[in-house]
Amino acid sequence: MLSTFSVSRILFPNIQSLGILTPKLLNLGPYTLDFTSSGRHMAVGGRKGHLAIVDMKTMGLIKEFQVRETVRDVVFLHNDLFFAAAQKSMANILMTGRYPYIYNRDGTELHCLKEHGAVLRLQFLKNHFLLASINNFGQLHYQDVTMGEMVGSYRTGIGRTDAMQVNPYNGVVALGQSLGTVSMWKPTSSAPLLRLLCHKGPVSAIAFHPNGHLMATAGKERKIKLWDLRKLGDEPLQTLPGNAKTLDFSQKGLLACQLGNGSSVQILRDLDGNQTYKTYMNHGMVKGFQIEKLLFRPYEDVLGIGHSMGWSSILIPGAGEPNFDTLVANPFETSKQRRESEVHSLLDKLPAETIMLDPAKIGTLKPERKKEKPTKQEKVAGIEAAVEVVKAIKLKKKTKGRSKPSKRTIKKKELIAKAKSPFLAQEMKEEEQVARKKQKTIEYVETPTSLLRFVRKKATA
Amino acid sequence: MKVKVISRSADEFTKERSQDLQRVFRNFDPSIRTQEKAVEYVRAQNAAKLDKIFARPFVGAMEGHIDSISCMAKNPNHLTGIFSGSMDGEIRLWNLASRRTVCRFPGHKGAVQGLTVSTDGHVLVSCGTDSTIRLWGVPVSNLLEEDVSSDKSAEPRETYVWKNAFRSVDHQWNSDRFATGGAGVDIWNHNRSAPEQSYQWGTDTVVSVRFNPGEPDILATSASDRSIALYDLRMGKPTSKFIMRTRTNSICWNPMEPINFTAANEDSNCYSFDCRKFGEATCVHMDHVSAVMDIDYSPTGREFVTGSYDRTVMIFPYNAGHKREIYHTKRMQRVFCVKYSCDGSYVISGSDDTNLRLWKSKASEQLGVLLPREQKKHEYHEAVKNRYKHLPEVKRIVRHRHLPKPIYKAGKQIREQNESQRKKHEKRKAHSAPGSIVQEPLRKRKIIKVE
């Protein structure tokens, strides 16, 4: 089979560098990479601390620098100006700095995110401007990068995991566990939305199809399974053999995974559209190269491979979306257009509460809740029923002058009051709770604005 | 071996010269844009908030009168002119664009109670408590020049003296005739010094008189015996009449549906009626807290403006029970007359504090010439806001209006009173034989008798 690099050199001389590119980056560790949403820029991070941003149109290096710490993951924020790197200090045992850092395009360190801890994987939710991270204790953190507010941090109970992926369709974060379950999380709840038992061994990689229906998971027992997210059952749609450390779906639905040992790439495609994937292409690299990350480049027919000796790009016909929408992602963006689109995307920033499994639920009616609390009529009916029961009791007629009519009526009244008292006590309790809530809100409002900085803030969860 | 791969040449996608426009490429595939509904919802919230930020309805005030303004008149042939008459007898013609007086018409000895303009716009008819009707010639050419603010005053062409004070006047469409309301309804002609016809139904004063815009011979009047009556000039007699619980201060016909009219009542509600069926109102418009003094329809027929004794101006949709908009200022006292401008974009109110005020009909509307891109953006904001305006967060922002404290409290009180009446009625119904207590709808309850 003709390898793709020779094709490109012969037939496409004007496409400068869409062939194999293998800069020899010696001994700086396996490389992980990330593209901006328009596919124009790529951020590269080597395990031994090499960070770089490359402009993929001109294949020009924008900036590269060495941070002298272990870098586990790199992710772009909303545009090519900012990217985050998950770093771990290896220099000094005393100086354990294991935090993600946010860098500028010029290589300046902008922020050190200490609350996240020793991060293994980072993901950016584009519509919500949330940076999600999972650290080696299994804690999931969501941070809003516009104002720096920590939206949620949860102990997932999963343990250490390397498999983390955002579903672009609905913004939920999927984490793979070492017991073989995949759990899906949203920033507003401490319990997962969904838990799915996928594999018999640990889950090593997860990938989502852009249309939101298909999920591919890879397990260490050398199986790749495809699941339909609309109809989650016990059985996957398809099971394929494969030992994949990394998976990725392209914009047109092609699935890239590893083949055999670590240096071949396999591309799968469903030709008929009935979600059965078959082999489309295989690509074998030099035998010593261990593949670290596979990522399709948006809007181009290119697959980026980060491996132990650097990074490569290969041509995959039919992978990318040929028609881009200028208002969504523009590979030919000028700086003016970039600034305007940044402002527009900030205005359209979604609040963290909108992340849900089915994003089309917004704007629909909530189904009527079954009334757990009794309505007013029911309460009144309850009181009346209790009073009727009491009225029907016949009082014993006492002798020796102890059964005077006045005493009997008093006794009857007491019994009725006793029957009513639990209902009234309940009402009073509810009113007291409402009053307390009102008081709390009033108390909160009453500190004047100039003194607000002295108010002690409660620790967030 | 030939392989087809995506290749884009930079020429097509970037601009050649700096004066060129950037090309915009669209792809409407939903899979490249995610969570569209949530983004739309956020945009609806932002649109509602922007609406509130840009809501500056007050355009300007026209000062000059020295007593409270009692009536106003407009003519559809001249968009920028409006006549106002005050309680000391002075009538002025204003230019709305420059907000200055164009011409004065002094002459009335008492309060000017009614003003109307003939259909061609050349003759102004005014009537007052000094029992006179005066006809004035309108200086048409001056209206076109914007920066002429003169102290010109005109002499009345004719003055007709009659036996009783007049309360209202209205001009028939496409004719030389006008009707006045005073002791009864009188039909006058420009050239005659005595009324051609006089109608009397009952012995009470007729408070307001309005000709139907679609059928020029039909006339609606309201009198102080709490009645509303219809007259037909061709038949030579009054047609029908019904009596309500409280007096109607003013009537206005819907210009787009001339079978309907709306009456501004003393009990702080407005009632819309179909003139063919007087047994019940078609709609009750409730939001004012004090007597509604004047009402005028927009030329689109889709909404109307009311001015009330509670110092506010409200705009209602023609078929809705509650207001769309409320305008109030600390300086504006009791509003006695309101008019909708003839292009539907402005509302003019005349009040007790001797000022006429010009307001925008849509408070956050951008005036002036809009670029097509601005126009499209406004339309998009309107559309996305309307799509989600029933959801609680957007609804809260869209509905919110700051009310002055007396109005807020009075409104609360009225609602409490209505609620307690309703509860009492429900209890009476619950404790009596089913079907024995029947309550008519509010639309019918307010009408006592139909004659």
Write out pLDDT tens, residues A158-195: 889 999 999 999 999 999 999 999 999 999 999 999 99
Measured between beta carbons, the chain A residues lying within 8 angstroms of B27 are: 321, 323-325, 328
* DSSP 8-state assignment for residue A386: H
pLDDT at A401: 85
User: Could you tell me which chain B residue has the CA closest to the CA of A251?
Assistant: B32
What average pLDDT does the structure give for chain B? Answer: 92
Q: Which of B12, B24, B35 to mutate to test the interface with A (most CBs of A within 10 A)?
A: B35
Instruction: State the smallest CA–CA distance between residue A314 and chain B in angstroms.
Output: 11
CB pair distance less than 8 Å for B28 and A323: no
Q: Does A168 touch chain B (CB under 8 A)?
A: yes
Q: How confident is the model at residue B379 (pLDDT cuts 50, 70, 90)?
A: very high
pLDDT at A350: 95
Structure-block tokens of residue B155: 């002499």
Position A247 pLDDT exceeds 80: yes
CB pair distance less than 8 Å for A168 and B34: yes
Position A8 pLDDT exceeds 50: no
pLDDT at A95: 52
Residues in Cβ contact with A112 at an 8 Å cutoff, skipping those fewer than 6 apart: A97, A99, A101
Selecting from A11, A211, A359 the residue whose C-beta is nearest the C-beta of B35 gives A359
Instruction: State the smallest CA–CA distance between residue B387 and chain A in angstroms.
Output: 9
CB pair distance less than 8 Å for B34 and A170: yes
Residue B205 burial (10 A CB sphere; 0-12, 13-18, 19+): middle
CATH of domain A2-356: 2.130.10.10
Instruction: State the smallest CA–CA distance between residue B394 and chain A in angstroms.
Output: 11
B106 falls within a domain: yes
Position B326 pLDDT exceeds 60: yes
Mean pLDDT of A418-425: 91
pLDDT digits (tens, 9 = 90+) for A296-310: 999 999 999 999 988
Q: Does A313 touch chain B (CB under 8 A)?
A: no
pLDDT at A6: 34
Q: How confident is the model at residue B88 (pLDDT cuts 50, 70, 90)?
A: very high
B343 falls within a domain: yes
The CATH number of residue B198's host domain is 2.130.10.10
Residues in Cβ contact with B265 at an 8 Å cutoff, skipping those fewer than 6 apart: B244, B246, B247, B248, B249, B271, B291, B292
- How many whole angstroms separate alpha carbon B437 and alpha carbon B138? 59
CB pair distance less than 8 Å for B7 and A12: yes
pLDDT at B189: 93
Q: How confident is the model at residue A2 (pLDDT cuts 50, 70, 90)?
A: very low
DSSP for B4-64 reads: ------HHHHS-SSTTSPPP------GGGS--HHHHHHHHHHHHHHHHHHT---EEEEE--
pLDDT digits (tens, 9 = 90+) for B193-225: 999 999 888 788 999 999 999 999 999 999 999
Mean pLDDT of B94-122: 92
Measured between beta carbons, the chain A residues lying within 8 angstroms of B37 are: 359-360, 362-363
Position A11 pLDDT exceeds 70: no
- How many whole angstroms separate alpha carbon A168 and alpha carbon B111? 72
Residues in Cβ contact with B274 at an 8 Å cutoff, skipping those fewer than 6 apart: B259, B260, B282
User: Could you tell me which chain A residue has the CA closest to the CA of B387?
Assistant: A363
Cα dihedral A97, A100, A105, A108, rounded to 10, equals -30
User: Could you tell me which chain B residue has the CA closest to the CA of A5?
Assistant: B3
pLDDT at B151: 62
CA angle B74/B80/B81 to nearest 5° reads 45
Q: Choose among B163, B162, B159, B124: nearest CA to B140.
A: B124
Per-domain residue ranges of chain A: 2-356, 376-460
User: Could you tell me which chain B residue has the CA closest to the CA of A16?
Assistant: B7
Q: How confident is the model at residue A93 (pLDDT cuts 50, 70, 90)?
A: low
Percent of chain B with pLDDT over 90: 79
Measured between beta carbons, the chain B residues lying within 8 angstroms of A323 are: 25, 27, 29
What domain range is B330 assigned to? 61-362
B187 falls within a domain: yes
pLDDT at A25: 59
Position A368 pLDDT exceeds 90: no
Mean pLDDT of B378-407: 94
Q: Does A282 touch chain B (CB under 8 A)?
A: no
Distances (CA, A) of B368 to B154, B345, B364, B365, B375: 34, 12, 13, 10, 11
User: Could you tell me which chain B residue has the CA closest to the CA of A299?
Assistant: B6
Position B126 pLDDT exceeds 70: yes
Q: How confident is the model at residue A429 (pLDDT cuts 50, 70, 90)?
A: very high
Selecting from B5, B7, B39 the residue whose C-beta is nearest the C-beta of A348 gives B39
Position A1 pLDDT exceeds 50: no
Q: Choose among B103, B77, B45: nearest CA to B397.
A: B45
pLDDT digits (tens, 9 = 90+) for B279-298: 899 999 999 999 999 999 99
Q: Does A133 touch chain B (CB under 8 A)?
A: no
- How many whole angstroms separate alpha carbon A43 and alpha carbon A53? 4
Instruction: State the smallest CA–CA distance between residue B414 and chain A in angstroms.
Output: 25
Q: How confident is the model at residue A287 (pLDDT cuts 50, 70, 90)?
A: confident
ipTM score for this prediction: 0.79
Q: Which of B1, B2, B4, B5 to mutate to test the interface with A (most CBs of A within 10 A)?
A: B5
Radius of gyration of chain B measured on its C-alpha atoms:
27
Position A361 pLDDT exceeds 50: yes
B286 falls within a domain: yes
Q: How confident is the model at residue A237 (pLDDT cuts 50, 70, 90)?
A: very high
Position A262 pLDDT exceeds 80: no
Measured between beta carbons, the chain B residues lying within 8 angstroms of A354 are: 35, 38, 41
pLDDT at A260: 73
pLDDT at A13: 32
pLDDT digits (tens, 9 = 90+) for A393-412: 888 888 888 888 899 999 99
Measured between beta carbons, the chain B residues lying within 8 angstroms of A321 are: 27, 29, 32
Structure-block tokens of residue B321: 């029970």
CB pair distance less than 8 Å for B42 and A321: no
| pTM attached to this predicted model | 0.83
Mean pLDDT of B53-82: 94
Measured between beta carbons, the chain B residues lying within 8 angstroms of A299 are: 6
pLDDT at B146: 52
B274 falls within a domain: yes
Position A17 pLDDT exceeds 50: no
Q: How confident is the model at residue B142 (pLDDT cuts 50, 70, 90)?
A: low
Mean pLDDT is highest, among A18-32, B19-33, B284-298, for B284-298
| Count: domains in chain B | 1
Mean pLDDT of A106-111: 93
